[in-house]
Structure 1
Amino acid sequence: MATPALKAIRQQFPDAEIVTIQRPYVADALDGLDLVDRTISLQNGQKLISRLGLLQQLRRERFDLSILFPNSFRSAWLSFLAGIPRRVGINRDGRRWLLTDALPAGDKQTPHPAIDEYLRIATFLVEEDQANARVSLPLSRTMELAVTDADRQRWKSFLDKQSTDFKSRPLVCLNPGGAFGGAKHWPVAHFGELAERIANELGRSVLVVCGPAEKNEALQIVEQANHPLVTSLAAEPLHLGLTKAAIQQAELLVTTDSGPRHFAAPFQVPVVTLFGPTHILWSETFYDRSLHLQLDLDCGPCQQRVCPLGHHRCMKDLRSDQVFRAVLSLLDQQQNKKAA
């Protein structure tokens, strides 16, 4: 969701070296794009000596400008300690005094799409120097991703192990799980029922993509579906590039509200997104080939990582037949577009 803002920043500062500070498990998402020049890894749970080493590295870099997409206190604190003279971000999480350029924050109770928040920061940087503006306003929301040659080889290696029948059919990807917490998970039994129907009734191949935390879930979905056209990436060396390559080749993606959901739009793949505890608008990307499914419950969306009432109805009561109808709807739309 940050790629539209990154593209605008690249265009506005064509001669600058642009460096991202990212957690290693998401750094591969930008591989193949020219939006950044290099990445500095921000490890989770670093020991004090490692944190000091990172801080010393950042100070040696002598950066001119820090653009803070996360709204966290930590990101602003790190930029401040690194001695970066300009620190631009949104005034949230009590960090106003750490920012040199603090953009006003909206009401916390009102959802603000992340893609628009990132674009707001990029727009500020363009507008403050209108005389040298290289980007047209308003900025585009179009997201970007790329698949590298190494990613294509990973995908080929996976396909080489599959049956001729699997490879000859259109592909539907399923993406379970979510780092946010258990409340975002759609039940394995529902995913299994959906996978079996897509394979059996629609004659599609079905691939369950996964990260390390979703391996067991992916295997259980395949077991539940019990169909030769349903398999997963769980046995492969997992890599974001492989997931990107798989979704790029898909006819459709069905996903929870998790990171790989956003791989669909850049590759123009239709996507059905299953929302439970999270408000749709926080991660809205305004993609025209998407359908959002969310039950209208009195208790939600609660934005909690674990269901505070213990019933998890927002996901359990979202049945596989409802999702199957959404799949049919998007596939019909695609067929009608091709026919037109």
Structure 2
Amino acid sequence: MKIAVFLPNWVGDAVMATPALSAIRRRWPDGEVVAVLRPYVADVLEGTGLVDRVIDWDPRDKTHESSGWKLARQLRRERFDAAVLFPNSLRSGWMAWLSGATRRIGFARDARRWLLTDPIPVTSRGVPHPVLDDYLRLAAELDCPSGDHRMHLATSASDEACWREIRARRGDVLGPRPYICINPGGAFGAAKHWPSQSFGELAGRIVSSTDQSVVVVCGPSEREEAREICRWAEDSRVVSLADEASSLGLTKAVIRHATALVSTDSGPRHFAAPFGVPVVTLFGPTHVAWSETGYEREVRVQLDVECGPCQQRICPLGHHRCMTELSADRVFRELQTLMQQQTSKSGLPVEHGVQSAHEIATMARLSTLN
């Protein structure tokens, strides 16, 4: 069995696709699973073993082998038995049809139903629901039924080594010290962003209340925001990775070894669950149901505003109250509650955040401070 999986374009959605990929792998352990994806998404799946090969597809790059008719000819030469389409776009349906795959499985969105051999009826009609469940429906259509919502990620040896080197180089504030990770990103749009000042206040509160450091991760477009957070924190124990070589692999390694993560509703937020790291997610314009995964160590924080959740990339009213009125004090209290819940449970795995008796004591201290 040779299967092409057209993966989502968003990092977080790619992580939420891993339960479906796992179901496909279990059903066809000797089959070949080839991921067709945006180049940056490949780092998300590296080391998981869920796909055997990747084929880059960047529709924006008109000169690359991944574009247009060149990609179609490449896919046709592969002679796929099946193509599974995670994106709902007409373009992905068209490319799957051009590939000549015997079965073409996807949701029957608009005109592309005629490009599919196995169009799945759309039943939600815009009602917020977990995207992860939609992805499992795709796998089930390929005779790979599963109710397992566990997401899968891995870190590479090189990414782990890179993070160890950074910690050693900045040993005055990192070294063996436990840390809480902050992810301020949001490629979706400005409406998802929490103010840098608020993140800075939160980071300062954490380092002044505990012996933990704070590490701010960022993508290439978020470097200045990460620096601003450190400036607002006014404490050398708040460290950004803005001046380091940025990669999703490094971000995975940083989050994997964190005590906890505080994140906007963006891709790296979903790195926490596969590694068992507690996470506080800050929601603004997006409905929490879309990205619900059932992860028990996640606290979702969202203000109840009359205009939300609007699902808009930029606040259409100009005030952005859903995020600007969310206080650092509120988020700190939510983090305290989450950490208190973790310290009350026994038997947490070492690699899933609680790494030592020292760190357990730190978590307990954070959970009791006001």
Q: Which bracket does the TM-score occupy, shorter chain normalised?
A: over 0.9
Task: From 311, 320, 323, give the equivalent of 2:331.
Answer: 323
Secondary structure at 1:19's aligned position in 2? strand
Report what 1:145 is aligned to.
153
Counterpart of 1:269 in 2: which secondary structure? coil
How far did residue 81 of structure 1 move?
1.7
Identity in percent: 54
TM-score (norm 1): 0.94
Structure 1 residue 51 displacement after superposition:
2.0
CA–CA distance in 1 between the matches of 2:174 and 2:221?
26
Shift of 1:83: 1.8
Aligned: 1:125 with 2:118: no
Taking the aligned partners of 1:94 and 1:232, their CA distance within structure 2 comes to 46
Q: Which residue of 1 aligns with 2:216?
A: 208
Deviations 1:37-78 (A, max 9, x none): 010111241217842211211111111110011111111111
Counterpart position of 2:19? 4
Could you tell me which amino acid in structure 2 is paired with residue 12 of structure 1? R
1:215 and 1:8 map into 2 onto residues whose CA distance is 37
Aligned to 2:44: 29
Note the C-alpha offset of 1:94. Answer: 3.2
Kindly report which structure 2 residues correspond to 1:167-206, keeping only aligned pairs within 5 A, or say none.
167-206=175-214
**Which amino acid is 1:274 matched to?**
L
Larger mean CA deviation between 166-175 and 260-269 belongs to: 166-175
Q: Go from structure 1 to structure 2 and tell me whether the alpha carbon gap of 1:93 and 1:171 turns closer, same or farther (over 3 Å shift).
A: farther
**Structure 2 length normalisation: TM-score?**
0.86
CA RMSD between the two structures: 1.6
Alpha-carbon distance between aligned partners in 2 of 1:191 and 1:286, rounded to the nearest angstrom: 26
SS of equivalent residue, structure 2 residue 155: coil
Please report how far the alpha carbon of residue 95 of structure 1 lies from its aligned counterpart in structure 2 after TM superposition. 1.5
Which structure 1 residue ranges, 5 or more long, are not aligned?
128-136
Instruction: Report if the CA contact (8 A) 1:8-1:139 is conserved.
Output: no
2:63 & 2:112 partners in 1: Cα distance?
A: 22
Residue of structure 2 equivalent to 1:66: 83
* Residue of structure 2 equivalent to 1:163: 171
Q: Which runs of 5+ in 2 are unaligned?
A: 1-15, 349-370
- Corresponding position of 1:222: 230
Output one character per residue of 1:163-204: Cα deviation in whole Å (capped at 9) or x when no partner. 344323321000012110110011101000001001111221
Contact 1:252 1:269 in 2 (8 A): yes
Partners of 1:170 and 1:308 in 2: CA distance: 40
Post-superposition Cα deviations, 1:254-305, rounded to whole Å, max 9, x if no partner, equal 0000000000000000000000000000011110000000111110100000
Shift of 1:339: 8.6
User: Distance between the aligned counterparts of 2:306 and 2:161, measured in 1?
Assistant: 48
Q: Using the TM superposition, give the Cα deviation of residue 93 of structure 1 relative to its aligned residue in structure 2, in angstroms.
A: 3.9
Contact 2:23 2:146 (8 Å CA) reproduced: no
Deviation at 1:2, TM superposition (A): 0.8
Gap change, CA 1:18 and 1:226, over 3 Å in 2: same
Say whether the 8 Å CA contact 1:71–1:93 is kept in structure 2.
no
Question: For residues 111 and 225 of structure 1, do their structure 2 counterparts lie closer, same or farther at Cα, with a shift above 3 Å needed?
Answer: same
Answer yes or no: is the 8 Å Cα contact 1:123–1:139 preserved in 2: no
Q: Judge conservation of contact 2:48–2:154 (CA < 8 Å) in 1.
A: yes
Aligned length: 331
1:19 matched to 2:34: yes
Distance in 1 (alpha carbons) for counterparts of 2:203 and 2:39: 31
